[in-house]
Structure 1
Amino acid sequence: QQLDTPTPARDDTFPWRSLQLLQAMAPSPTPPCHHHHHPPLFPDTLLHSTHPQQAATTALRILQHLFNTLSSPSTPQHWHNHPRQQLLNSLDHYIHHLKRCLAGNVRRFQSRGPRNLLLNINKYIHGVTTYLQDHNYSACAWDHVRHEAHTLFRHLDTLFRRMRS
């Protein structure tokens, strides 16, 4: 069953436009941080679902995570605010749209969806938050998180295609 997703043209460009804004936010990367381990990687198993509601739920939670993380007041001072605001506005738009799309399907999905989906997503998000905290929200830690966000936008492209199937 297909979800009422954003228009295909806008859907097709959202992840790629977001990647451009993400790059514009921090055009000069921080020097390599050899003393930092990388934040937790997104669990690829969440991308293997063929169910549109599961893909939509995963996409929504990723978008919420990105919005909450990138809207943090502890983001590095050297990041440019204008592209960051554009990205946050775009994330907010998609979050609201996905919430509306899922509103009618939530009860049916909850009875059929895997119970550990949100647990896996929340565990990943907690790991990223802990990573930033453990490294005192340093510019280097933020740069690692920004690179992970880059990967998440590519995953969103996959999830959006699954939502339309």
Structure 2
Amino acid sequence: MSQRCLWLICLLLMSSGRMLSLDCNQFHQLQREYNWTAQHLLQRMGGKSPVECLEDKTAFRFPEKVLKPKLPQHAMMAVHEILQQHFGIFSRDLSQTGWESRGVQRFLNGLALQIERLETCLPTKRWTNILKLKRYFQRIQDYLKKKKYSKCAWEIVRKETEVCFQYVDKLTMRMKN
């Protein structure tokens, strides 16, 4: 195992202990660390997109309105939904991807920890923009199905997920009170 990979695991473990002991108002600080770690794990999971995958590119159209929540709780709900949806997508059979299973598992474990912590902080009232996020992720799932979960389709989705974690980072900044 490379030294960089061990460092990412250590960061994830150290952050998870601190994260579980924080109150919800300080959650955004460690969420930013998780966002960074998730992006690096995603980058390491895949390689460069093969040239033949260029024709498979599509615009999933992330709902930009979600990035401007009126309340910090809305940002938290959006991040929770995004993490849950990614967990569902990456929990599928990824055998066609050629990705290292340990990298995928680390990514999923990090998502599970984030989701668990966020669930203790979520307000009970729902936010209407969650439906926009659900439609966005439905487009991604429909795309994978249409492309028969091909290696190229998974690479396109992996790259989209990297971009999505940049959005999660913007939302995380809006979690501050």
Query: What TM-score, normalized to structure 2?
Result: 0.80
Partner of 2:173: 161
Match of 1:32 among 27, 39, 52: 52
1:48 to 57, 68, 74: 68
Q: How does 1:67-82 map to 2 (within 5 A)?
A: 67-74=87-94, 76-82=96-102
Counterpart contact for 1:39–1:145, Cα < 8 Å: no
Q: Secondary structure at the match of 1:40?
A: coil
Runs of 4+ in 1 over 2 A off after TM superposition: 2-7, 27-37, 74-77
Residues 55-108 of structure 1: per-residue CA shift (max 9 Å, x gap): 111100000011111111145341011111111101000101111111xx21xx
Q: Which protein has the bigger helix share? A: 2
The structure 2 residue matched to 1:59, chosen from 79, 96, 102, is: 79
User: Map of 1:79-90 to 2, 5 A cutoff?
Assistant: 79-90=99-110
Inter-partner Cα distance in structure 1 for 2:28 and 2:78: 19
Contact 1:26 1:79 in 2 (8 A): yes
Matched pairs, number: 155
Q: Matched residues in 1 for 2:106 and 2:32: separation?
A: 17
Q: Which residue number corresponds to residue 119 of structure 1?
A: 131
Instruction: Please identify, of 31-40 and 133-142, the stretch whose mean Cα deviation from structure 2 is larger.
Output: 31-40
Aligned-residue identity in percent? 28
Q: Which has the higher contact order (CA 8 A, sep 6+)?
A: 1
Residues 99-118 of structure 1 aligned to structure 2 (within 5 Å) = 99-102=119-122, 105-106=123-124, 109-110=125-126, 113=127, 115=128, 117-118=129-130
Structure 2: which 5+ runs fail to align?
1-22
* Structure 1 unaligned regions, length at least 5: none
Structure 1 pair 122–7 and aligned structure 2 pair: CA distance change class (3 A)? closer
